[in-house]
Structure formats: C-alpha cells, structure tokens
Amino acid sequence: MQSPVRLGLILMTICIVAAGLLAFTNAKTGPIIAQNEQQQLETALRELLPEAETFEPDEEEDKVFYRGRRGEAEVGIVAVFSQTGFGGLMKLALGVNKDGEVTGFQILQHAETPGLGAKITEEEFICQFVGKSANDDFILGQDIQGISGATISSESVTDCVKTLAAEIRDKYDLGSNG
C-alpha cells in the first residue's frame, strides 16, 4: 500500500503539469482568438453600414457605438451590445443609418438552443428588421414574425433592437424628421 504523502505528491505533480499545459495553450491561442474576434467585428461593421469608410468607437458601460463616416460625413451608427436570451448572454450588432433606418442586424455570439432559439441567426428572421425605422413599433407577431418554439429568444432580440434603435436615434439625432 502506498503512503498518502506519496499519492498526494503524485496528484500535485499531475495538477501542476496540467495547469502548466493549460497556461501554455492559453498563451498561444489567446492572441489568435482576439485577432479572430476583431476580424469578425470589422466584417460586421462593414456589412451593417457598407457606406462607411471608417468607424470611430464611442464606448459606454455595456455597449460600444461605432460612428460610421464617409469622409467627414457621418453616415450612421453600428452598436455592439449584449442581451440576455433564453440560453444566456448574446452579443449583437445593430446598424442604423443617418435617416434612422435599420441597415442590418447580426448576432455575433449566442448560446441559444440549437434548432430552436438558434434560428434567430437565420436570414429569414434577421432580414425582418432591415429597413425598419427607429420610430417603428417592432411588435412581435405583427411587425416581426417570431420563431415558433423560441418565443423568449424572439422577444429578447425584438425588444432589444427596438430599444437600441430608438436609443441610437435619440443619442445621435438620426432620422429626426421621421
């Protein structure tokens, strides 16, 4: 029979080696993950506000507003923010042009149920928001068709887009005429 001290030392050695390997892996993959996330963000910004040449970040507590510019003229805003869905926290991006119209909407990350709530990422659902004014009602079941079996996810996204589009409109004085 082995002594408890020897078993403890063996277990401690295994833990130290495992922790070292995890730290090494994190150090090697961390920058790659960060670079991929930055590329995903840049792609989303360009897709959501294609007329913009440059983007200037304007950070707040829980969201970042990117002012899209073409030359000196501001052409719109893209907001990147988090929202709670059925499966947990989602990271979303919303584009609004200078007329206060939604130019696009993307779900950058989510943990919604595959086959149900994950349908919020499908083009059929997302395209319903494009072209809507920040002044529109965004009522689920009337203006926006929800996803059957994913009511919480659909409501969460719809309410969030409505609220944020209005916030962008008011904060940046977009589409004041509408």
For the stretch 166-178, pLDDT in tens is 898 888 887 665 4
Q: Long-range CB contacts (< 8 A, 24+ apart) of 46-50?
A: 47/104, 47/106, 48/78, 48/93, 48/94, 48/95, 48/103, 48/104, 48/105, 48/106, 49/75, 49/76, 49/77, 49/78, 49/95, 49/97, 49/103, 49/104, 50/103
**Which residue range(s) make up the domain with 79?**
46-172
pLDDT, residue 113, reads 67
Q: Is residue 41, in this structure, part of any structural domain at all?
A: no
Q: How confident is the model at residue 62 (pLDDT cuts 50, 70, 90)?
A: confident
pLDDT, residue 68, reads 92
Q: Is residue 108, in this structure, part of any structural domain at all?
A: yes
Q: Is residue 32, in this structure, part of any structural domain at all?
A: no
The answer to whether 174 and 134 are in contact (CB under 8 A) is yes
Q: How confident is the model at residue 105 (pLDDT cuts 50, 70, 90)?
A: confident
Q: Is residue 27, in this structure, part of any structural domain at all?
A: no
pLDDT, residue 1, reads 57
* Overall domain count for the chain: 1
pLDDT above 50 (res 16): yes
pLDDT, residue 178, reads 43
Q: Is residue 83, in this structure, part of any structural domain at all?
A: yes
Q: Is residue 20, in this structure, part of any structural domain at all?
A: no
Q: Is residue 7, in this structure, part of any structural domain at all?
A: no
pLDDT, residue 128, reads 87
89-97 sheet: strands from edge to edge = 54-59, 63-70, 73-84, 89-97, 102-109
Q: What's the mean per-residue pLDDT of the chain?
A: 85
Cβ–Cβ contacts within 10 Å for residue 44, how many? 22
Q: Is residue 4, in this structure, part of any structural domain at all?
A: no
